[in-house]
Structure 1
Amino acid sequence: MQEYTHILLIEGKRPDRNSFLPGLTKKNFSVETVPSGSAALERIRERLPHLVILDAASMRTSGKRICNALREQAPSVPIILILDASTPGNDIPADVVLHLPFTLQKLLNRMKPFLPQEQKNVLRAGPISLDLKKRSVRCLNHQAMLTPRLVRLLKELMDHPGQVIEREVLFSRVWETQYTGDTRTLDVHISWLRQAIEDDPRHPRFIKTIRGLGYRLDVEETQPFNGRLRSLESSPTPAP
């Protein structure tokens, strides 16, 4: 799965053409579609995508004017241009020009050099991205550095998304002990994790308390990281 790779897809509506949107979405890309070059320029002013795919064939155009405008407004954003078999693309300022017909796999292969590289030792669950080596976590508009214990705790939750993990089980796995008579320190560490990833740690969206049982990580796809860096284990006040 790509880590919050945002693609802007410019395509028209033609009854004789299938959209590339379903195929890209199935590959877990975040894809936003717009119907015109002017709409694309408006979106780019608000947010830069990692990649623009211009399906000029679906718009019955060469895409040259749109590519020129995109290059002027966002010169760092790569462009993949899709043309009909009979439309030349030699003088169009796109990074890649593909002529129909071709497979989705060919499109994915040509996209690959322009996408954020997958990192080793990175665990992902929904919008949460945990770098096990750097001991950092990203979620929504938050980024934080974690201690080794917090990394193990979050990893345990991320390894079992949507599942309730009993307090004693979670404590014994993370603290590597058979003694689970006092798990209050677990609550403190859960509160630190909530401070790292939640917008409102006292009303958590992701790390849920299942009263009488334990904790559950609820995750879903959402907006990418865009935020700040913090150090955890600095405040011992647990959230409810």
Structure 2
Amino acid sequence: MARPRGKILLIEGKRSDHPSFFSGLTRKGFDVESVGTGKLASERLQTSLPDVVLVDAASMRTSGKRICQSIRADAPGVPILLVVDADYDHMERLDADVVLAQPFTLQKLLNRMRPLLPTDDQNLLKVGPIHLDVEHRWARCQERQAQLTPRLVMLLRALMERPGEVIERTDLFRVVWETEYTGDTRTLDVHVSWLRQALEEDARHPRYLKTVRGVGYRLDVEPKKRK
């Protein structure tokens, strides 16, 4: 018997005009437990912790804010994926790791859920708010998530392995393109620009991927302090 891809606690209401995620996730190999209210979810979290809590607030005609706050109090380490109606207030602060607005496909739900699930630590790099799954080629920073090309994975990995350090352009060309030739500097600049578009909230004024003029680039994230 195949091992489940992950354990999901699904909180959703019963609406005839709103399809359930239960059957789709079950078909994809997830171990799904469904409850109808936030209160029942809190009770369930007292005895068993899932890998992800999926809150379908759209099916309950609510923002899901209070449910997410309750889950955070009961199980602070469990990630939350919140589904809301298309017209929800984007300025409202919702206590969830990922917020998905209807409509969307099951595949998009899976893509956004994947970074929240347990993975092989050997293939997952974490530096500050940036997560990189080398095997599946996705990266996440805060609420932003993107699928990356193999070259972009190599570039981001090179920067993440030396956080806070200025990495010279020649070193990046050597690692990512396996060449000593740096005549075509625009190639590197374009790839850094693509990474910024994927991860930065404002690509024109990057917070993390900084240019050190005349030298190279730096991932402006504090490295972990050794104990």
TM-score, structure 1 length as denominator?
A: 0.48
Partner of 1:107: 109
Partner of 1:6: 7
Partner of 2:85: 84
Checking the alignment, whether the CA contact within 8 Å between 1:12 and 1:55 is kept in structure 2 is yes
Structure 1: distance between partners of 2:94 and 2:66: 9
Q: How many residues align?
A: 120
Give the CA deviation at 1:27. 0.6
Partner of 1:50: 51
Give the CA deviation at 1:118. 5.6
Give the CA RMSD over aligned residues: 1.8
Partner of 1:18: 19
SS at match of 1:32: strand
Give the CA deviation at 1:116. 1.8
TM-score, structure 2 length as denominator?
A: 0.50
For structure 2, list consecutive stretches of 5 or more residues without a partner in the other structure.
123-227
* CA shift digits 1:102-135 (9 cap, x unpaired): 0000000001011122699xxxxxxxxxxxxxxx
**Higher gyration radius (CA):** 1
Structure 1: distance between partners of 2:5 and 2:102: 28
SS at match of 2:46: helix
Partner of 1:37: 38
Checking the alignment, whether the CA contact within 8 Å between 1:3 and 1:118 is kept in structure 2 is no
Give the CA deviation at 1:4. 5.6
Partner of 1:163: none
Structure 2: distance between partners of 1:22 and 1:119: 29
Between 1 and 2, higher relative CO (CA 8 Å, sep ≥ 6) is seen in: 1
Give the CA deviation at 1:14. 0.2
SS at match of 2:39: helix
For structure 1, list consecutive stretches of 5 or more residues without a partner in the other structure.
121-240
Checking the alignment, whether the CA contact within 8 Å between 2:4 and 2:31 is kept in structure 1 is no
> 2:117 corresponds to which letter in structure 1?
L
Structure 2: distance between partners of 1:108 and 1:119: 20
Give the CA deviation at 1:87. 1.4
Alignment of 1:226-237 (within 5 A): none
> 1:19 corresponds to which letter in structure 2?
S
The alignment-based identity, stated in percent, is 56
Q: Which runs of 4+ in 1 moved over 2 A?
A: 1-4
